[in-house]
């Protein structure tokens, strides 16, 4: 069969899976007074459509920032504004100022779901298809298999189409950036990534690897010659893209400052809810929030994040290859997720995207991490009534990624890139690390399944109401920490030689 | 990828089962309530009341074996939500009820998956290792397991067809493997589960009589009367009567047989279903309607004299034709019998082995579909699924298959009319169609193209019909005045394709060259 038909079947399946999930409930459905992210997005449409652009980020009589005030960068606001125009032509009630608060109907749900699908079809899905076709090695069947698993990653589908958000847009732009960088179009890549940053500030998780890769490349080509020229071109492109996105807010400095304040709410705590990062997990042992003041929490997290990001970024700076770039993206986003300030459980998607890029090179590790990342959001899915789609998509992803990528078939030490561990622990007797890894994988999957069932079915003891969410987040944290360490080790070991890859295919 | 082992079959089965789970909270038709009601009836009422109960308008109108099946299901349903098992709880659809009913369809599809596996075993594999994706058994597995029609009708619209077609395909596979008694047993079970499979009963009857009861043929392929084996006939008779006794026995004992039969064959319903199936009568109705309109225009007819009835009025109803003679059940019966007679006669005279039987079965199914009384559009699946087996084996049949499936599947579109399901049905249909076209073309790439250019143009016309009916029409002012126009256009356009496929299939049976004895 031709590749095009396989690709189109994959994409159609991905669409069906997305739409199948979107038939389910969304966050905050029928839960006044605050509702959830769905209402937040609808409210942004209402605000951007009805108010002048100068009022979008300000607390005014018509714009109550305490009720889902706009706290994403301008590109999100423009997107809401476009959606609002379409909504207005279909049914003006959907975006009517003040009166439309908490508006819910079947038609409106259909409209909102469609906007997500359209954005995905325009930005995320083409980027995935092109990435898999052009930047992965192997036969066309292998490429399509990778694409299939990439497109069916459950976390993103469940958050965007179940919970309701537009992560596909920012992640899609970032992926376009990665794609362009992989193909050698550095200027276009940096433009795409600037767009991603301007859509969602969380894309900062990926910013350092982008910066280090491009800078490293410039240095390598010679900072005095062509490298400098490239650096200037990239710098100008980034500045121009930013300026274009922020144009309406640049007239007055106070405007721009307000947007920045809204985007980075440092006043919020170190963490909220139960998130699978270091601070929340540490909290079960030490109550950090009560020991440290707000400012020192901020500095502590900043310092830890920088320390965690530094090794992989320096490595990338000295060896600016695409392989190191991909690894640095995972490491940097995981470092941010584990150590930075005010992390949401959904931010793990930022680490999941680069992990998907590694599905071809390190299938077992990548899919293991991806599965854990979906699992870490389980309490959220349960709250939104997405248990059935969670089970279906997770089982499907686990089964097909193992089957199509033959992840468990040949996991020798070499394949898993465990060679570095043997060097690290040279004083220990030689053991079969691949065997241990495989068993760890089985045990971890069993633990995730067990905890999922327990969380969904069992009622926690009255004195420990948060027992299961804490267990889930701690388990997920251990997985993330393990992945973080492993991918750092892999980045510091020898890069895969082309030859051995050719042989294995 | 595992190239030589058959690990792809479980993967396909698991994949499609998970896909089905996506539709748990999708739109469901009144058939959902029908089956919930049957669960309630069989669970909470004594057997003697099953076929008399009429609290709900959806009375039990499947044969008794299906009622027993529902009784079995209700034992599990109790653990999900006991309230769904009360007859008075009309239109009861709690989340647990929905989950149970949907899962029951997905789980009972195991029969279908097993049957598909057996069918794949019957397909001849060409010599030489080829790519998994272009092996006939793989293609057949996808065509059966991922069939668009079944996914839509069973898992969104809601019915238990997968389970029933499992029996049909399994019995076909048994015949292909020359295990005739097992095949007959399975088919009798099937008939007692859903009597719509009477459509293909003539093919079974004649084939078993000819190929099983007469053990040998003459040299020229005609029947050798002396080889008749009464023992075999007796065995067949015993199987049929014992299964029927199991199913209908209790009702015969209670003297309820007339009541049961009156429920099974409701001839009070109209010629066509609420939405016209794409068959001859759809064309006949349109011809009648246009003649009437033309007559009024030309002042040949008085508008006041014409019988007033909207033909696609939504409810099941009778209606009279204006110009052409009205059609009665008796006429449809005669037409149906006439249409299947040549096929049945042909396998009596020249059996052509199990292949010939399969072809005759298809013609019976299509003949009944074309000329039957009150045919549902879903009945096209009785032809599409078995045709998949032939499609992977010969180029000619692959061409017919592509025309029949594409039109037949498209004619199922109006079943899902809710806007939320539009992306799903379009994507599913595209996926299945793209796969069947590319895979079958690859499979028969050595023998030239599968479709005539005119056929391609006709099929591309479906895209135009789809866009007009699904996108343009709902936005146009005609939506108010002529709400049934898209249904009419869809069924008429598809009727042409189905008729054409029917004729081509007939031609392929009757004009087969003698020197090609197919042995399976």
Which pLDDT score is estimated for B457?
A: 94
Neighbouring CB atoms inside 10 A of A259's CB total 22
Least confident piece of the model among A71-75, A150-154, A476-480, B56-60: B56-60
Residues in chain A within 8 Å Cβ distance of B430: 8, 12
DSSP A271: B
DSSP A27: T
Q: Let me know if B446 is exposed, middle or buried by CB neighbors in 10 A (0-12, 13-18, 19+).
A: exposed
Give the tens place of pLDDT for each residue, A402-428: 999 887 776 676 667 777 777 777 777
- C-beta of residue B142 within 8 angstroms of C-beta of residue B133: no
Give the tens place of pLDDT for each residue, A20-56: 999 999 998 888 888 999 999 999 999 999 999 988 9
Average pLDDT over residues A329-339: 95
Which pLDDT score is estimated for B307?
A: 59
DSSP B133: G
Which pLDDT score is estimated for B129?
A: 57
Neighbouring CB atoms inside 10 A of A321's CB total 14
Helix residue spans in A121-225 (DSSP H): 125-135, 140-151, 154-157, 167-183, 186-199, 207-220
- C-beta of residue B499 within 8 angstroms of C-beta of residue B492: no
Size of interface A-B (CB pairs under 8 A): 82
Give the tens place of pLDDT for each residue, A12-23: 999 999 999 999
For residue A466, what are the CA distances in angstroms to A233, A447, B450? 52, 18, 62
**Packed helices B110-122 and B95-108: angle between N→C axes, nearest 10 degrees:** 20
Q: What is the mean pLDDT of each run of 10 residues along chain B (520 residues)?
A: 64 95 93 93 91 87 92 93 90 92 96 94 76 88 95 94 95 91 93 91 90 78 77 91 91 89 77 76 86 83 61 47 79 90 87 85 92 87 93 91 94 90 94 94 84 91 91 82 82 92 89 52
Give the tens place of pLDDT for each residue, A351-386: 999 999 999 988 999 999 999 999 999 999 999 999
Q: How far apart are CA B173 and CA B389, in angstroms?
A: 10
Is A110's CB within 8 Å of B21's CB? no
B23 in reach of chain A (CB within 8 A):
yes
Average pLDDT over residues A218-235: 89
Q: Find the residue in B nearest to A6 (Cα).
A: B435
Structure tokens at B478: 């005609």
Which pLDDT score is estimated for A14?
A: 96
Average pLDDT over residues A294-302: 86
Question: Model-level pTM?
Answer: 0.92
B18 in reach of chain A (CB within 8 A):
yes
Residues in chain A within 8 Å Cβ distance of B22: 16-17, 20-21, 23, 389, 392
For residue A241, what are the CA distances in angstroms to A188, A217, B113? 11, 21, 54
Q: How far apart are CA B37 and CA B52, in angstroms?
A: 13
Is A389's CB within 8 Å of B18's CB? no
Q: Let me know if A123 is exposed, middle or buried by CB neighbors in 10 A (0-12, 13-18, 19+).
A: buried
Q: Give which of B491, B458, B483, B497 is closest to B282, Cα–Cα.
A: B491
Most distant CA atoms of chain A, gap in Å: 72
CA atoms within 13 A on the CB side of A310: 7
DSSP character string of B379-426: GGHHHHHHHHHHHTT-HHHHHHHHHHHHHHHHTTGGG---GGGHHHHH
Through-space distance between the first and last CA atoms of chain B, rounded to whole angstroms: 30
How far is B141 from chain A, CA to nearest CA, in Å? Answer: 16
Give the tens place of pLDDT for each residue, A446-504: 999 999 999 999 998 898 888 999 999 999 999 999 999 999 999 988 776 654 443 33
Q: How confident is the model at residue A174 (pLDDT cuts 50, 70, 90)?
A: very high
Q: How far apart are CA B501 and CA B403, in angstroms?
A: 7
Q: Is B431 helix (H, G, I), strand (E, B) or coil?
A: helix
Neighbouring CB atoms inside 10 A of A18's CB total 28
User: Which residues are paired to B375 by β-bridges?
Assistant: B272
**Of the candidates B18, B24, B431, which has its C-beta nearest A395's C-beta?**
B18
Average pLDDT over residues A244-256: 90
Neighbouring CB atoms inside 10 A of B205's CB total 15
Structure tokens at B203: 């093919």
Is B26's CB within 8 Å of A395's CB? no
Q: How far apart are CA A91 and CA A45, in angstroms?
A: 13
Structure tokens at A240: 């121009």
**Percentage of chain A with pLDDT > 90?**
66
DSSP character string of A403-425: HHTTTTTT--HHHHT-HHHHHHT
Which pLDDT score is estimated for B132?
A: 82
Structure tokens at A120: 């995905």
- C-beta of residue A383 within 8 angstroms of C-beta of residue A332: no
Structure tokens at B304: 């006041």
Q: How far apart are CA B156 and CA B207, in angstroms?
A: 36
Residues in chain A within 8 Å Cβ distance of B427: 12-13, 15-16, 19
Q: How far apart are CA A93 and CA B512, in angstroms?
A: 66
Which pLDDT score is estimated for B270?
A: 66
Dihedral over Cα of A452, A457, A463, A465: its sign: positive
């Amino acid at each position: 069969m031709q590749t095009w038909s396989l690709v189109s079947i994959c994409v159609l399946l991905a669409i069906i899976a997305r739409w199948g999930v979107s038939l389910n409930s969304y966050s905050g459905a029928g839960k006044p007074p605050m509702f959830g992210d769905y209402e937040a997005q609808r409210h942004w449409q209402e605000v951007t459509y009805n108010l002048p652009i100068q009022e979008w980020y300000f607390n005014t009589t018509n714009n109550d920032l305490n009720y889902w005030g706009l706290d994403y960068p301008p590109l999100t606001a423009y997107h809401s504004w476009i959606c609002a125009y379409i909504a207005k032509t279909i049914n003006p009630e959907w975006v009517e100022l003040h009166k439309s608060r908490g508006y819910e109907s079947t038609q409106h749900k259909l409209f909102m779901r469609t906007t997500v699908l359209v954005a995905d079809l325009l930005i995320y899905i083409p980027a995935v298809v092109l990435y898999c076709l052009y930047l992965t090695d192997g036969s066309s069947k292998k490429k399509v298999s990778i694409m299939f698993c990439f497109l069916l990653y459950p976390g993103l589908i469940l958050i965007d189409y179940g919970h309701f958000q537009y992560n596909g847009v920012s992640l899609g732009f970032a992926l376009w950036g990665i794609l362009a960088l992989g193909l050698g179009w550095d200027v276009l890549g940096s433009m795409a990534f600037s767009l991603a940053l301007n859509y969602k500030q969380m894309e900062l998780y990926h910013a350092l690897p982008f910066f280090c890769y491009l800078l490293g490349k410039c240095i390598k080509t010679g900072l005095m010659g062509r490298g400098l020229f490239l650096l200037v071109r990239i710098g100008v492109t980034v500045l121009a893209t930013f300026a274009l996105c922020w144009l309406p807010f640049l007239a007055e400095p106070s405007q721009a400052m307000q947007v920045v304040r809204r985007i980075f709410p440092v006043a919020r705590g170190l963490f909220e809810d139960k998130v699978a990062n270091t601070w929340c997990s540490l909290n079960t042992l030490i109550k950090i929030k009560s020991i440290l003041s707000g400012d020192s929490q901020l500095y502590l997290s900043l310092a830890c994040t920088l320390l965690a990001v530094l090794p992989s970024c320096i490595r990338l700076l000295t060896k600016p290859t695409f392989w190191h770039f991909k690894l640095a993206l995972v490491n940097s986003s995981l470092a941010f997720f584990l150590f930075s300030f005010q992390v949401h459980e959904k931010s793990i998607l930022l680490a999941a995207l680069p992990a998907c890029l590694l599905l071809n090179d390190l299938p077992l590790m990548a899919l293991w991490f991806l599965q854990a990342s979906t699992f870490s959001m389980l309490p959220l899915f349960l709250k939104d009534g997405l248990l059935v789609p969670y089970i279906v998509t997770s089982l499907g992803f686990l089964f097909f990624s193992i089957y199509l990528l033959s992840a468990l078939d040949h996991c020798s030490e070499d394949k898993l890139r465990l060679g570095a561990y043997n060097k690290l622990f040279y004083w220990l007797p030689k053991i079969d690390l691949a065997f241990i890894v495989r068993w760890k994988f089985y045990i971890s999957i069993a633990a995730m399944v067990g905890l999922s069932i327990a969380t969904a079915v069992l009622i926690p003891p009255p004195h420990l109401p948060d027992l299961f969410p804490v267990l889930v987040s701690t388990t997920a944290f251990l997985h993330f920490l393990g992945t973080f360490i492993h991918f750092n080790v892999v980045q510091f070991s020898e890069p895969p030689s082309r030859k051995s890859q050719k042989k294995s295919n | 990828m595992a190239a030589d082992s058959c690990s792809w079959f479980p993967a396909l089965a698991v994949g499609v089962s998970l896909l089905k789970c996506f539709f748990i909270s999708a739109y469901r038709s009144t058939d959902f309530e029908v089956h919930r009601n049957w669960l309630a009836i069989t669970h909470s009422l004594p057997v003697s009341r099953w076929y008399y109960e009429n609290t709900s308008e959806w009375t039990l109108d499947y044969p008794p074996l299906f009622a027993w099946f529902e009784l079995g299901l209700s034992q599990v349903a109790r653990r999900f939500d006991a309230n769904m098992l009360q007859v008075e709880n009309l239109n009861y659809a709690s989340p647990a009820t929905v989950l149970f009913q949907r899962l029951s369809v997905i789980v009972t599809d195991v029969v279908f998956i097993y049957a598909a596996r057996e069918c794949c075993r019957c397909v001849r594999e060409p010599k030489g290792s080829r790519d998994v994706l272009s092996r006939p058994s793989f293609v057949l597995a996808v065509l059966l397991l991922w069939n668009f029609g079944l996914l839509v009708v069973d898992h969104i619209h809601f019915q238990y067809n997968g389970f029933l077609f499992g029996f049909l395909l399994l019995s076909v596979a048994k015949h292909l493997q020359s295990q005739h008694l097992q095949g007959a047993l399975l088919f009798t079970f099937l008939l007692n589960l859903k009597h719509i499979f009477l459509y293909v009963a003539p093919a079974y009857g004649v084939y078993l009589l000819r190929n099983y009861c007469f053990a040998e043929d003459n040299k020229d392929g005609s029947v050798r009367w002396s080889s008749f084996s009464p023992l075999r006939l007796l065995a067949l008779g015993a199987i049929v009567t014992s299964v029927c006794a199991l199913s209908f026995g209790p009702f015969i004992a209670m003297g309820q047989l007339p009541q049961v039969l009156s429920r099974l064959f409701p001839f009070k319903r109209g010629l066509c279903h609420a939405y016209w199936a794409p068959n001859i009568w759809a064309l006949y109705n349109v011809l009648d309607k246009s003649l009437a309109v033309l007559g009024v225009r030309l002042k040949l007819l008085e508008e006041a004299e014409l019988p007033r009835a909207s033909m696609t009025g939504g409810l099941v109803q009778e209606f009279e034709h204006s110009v052409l003679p009205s059609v009665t059940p008796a006429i449809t019966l005669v037409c149906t019998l006439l249409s299947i007679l040549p096929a049945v006669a042909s396998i009596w005279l020249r059996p052509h082995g199990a292949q010939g039987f399969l072809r005759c079965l298809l013609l019976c199914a299509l003949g009944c579909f074309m000329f039957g009384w009150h045919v549902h559009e879903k009945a096209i699946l009785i032809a599409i699924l078995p045709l998949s087996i032939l499609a992977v084996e010969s180029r000619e049949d692959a061409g017919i298959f592509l025309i029949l499936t594409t039109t037949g599947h498209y004619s199922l579109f109006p079943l899902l009319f809710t806007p939320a399901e539009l992306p799903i049905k379009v994507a599913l249909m595209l996926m299945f169609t793209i796969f069947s076209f590319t895979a079958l073309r690859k499979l028969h790439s050595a023998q030239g193209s599968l479709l005539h250019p005119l056929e391609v143009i006709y099929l591309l016309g479906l895209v135009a019909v789809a866009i007009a009916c699904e996108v343009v029409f709902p936005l146009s002012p005609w939506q108010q005045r002529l709400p049934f126009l898209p249904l009419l256009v869809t069924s008429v356009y598809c009727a042409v394709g189905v008729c054409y496929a029917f004729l081509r299939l007939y031609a392929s049976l009757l004009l087969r060259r003698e020197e090609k004895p197919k042995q399976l």
